[in-house]
Amino acid sequence: MNPIVGWVIGILSIVLLGTVIDLLLSENKMGKYIKAIFAAVTILVIIMPIPSLLRNGVDWDNGFIIQNEFELDENFLAFADRIRISALERGLEAQLASEGIRGTQVRIEGRVINSEIYPERVQINLANVVIDSNLAHINRYEHVAVRVSYHLSIDRGRIFVHGA
Residue-wise pLDDT tens digits, 52-65: 767 766 555 555 55
Statement: the pTM of the whole predicted model exceeds 0.85: no
More confident residue, 70 or 90: 90
Beta pairing, strands 101-102 & 130-131: antiparallel
Confidence of residue 72 (pLDDT cuts 50, 70, 90): low
Nearest CA among 77, 76, 108, 78 for reference residue 92:
108
* Type and span of the H or E element at 67: none
Which superfamily does 74-162 belong to?
Answer: ANL, C-terminal domain (3.30.300.30)
| pLDDT tens-digit series, residues 93-144 | 999 889 888 899 999 998 888 878 889 999 999 888 888 777 777 888 888 8
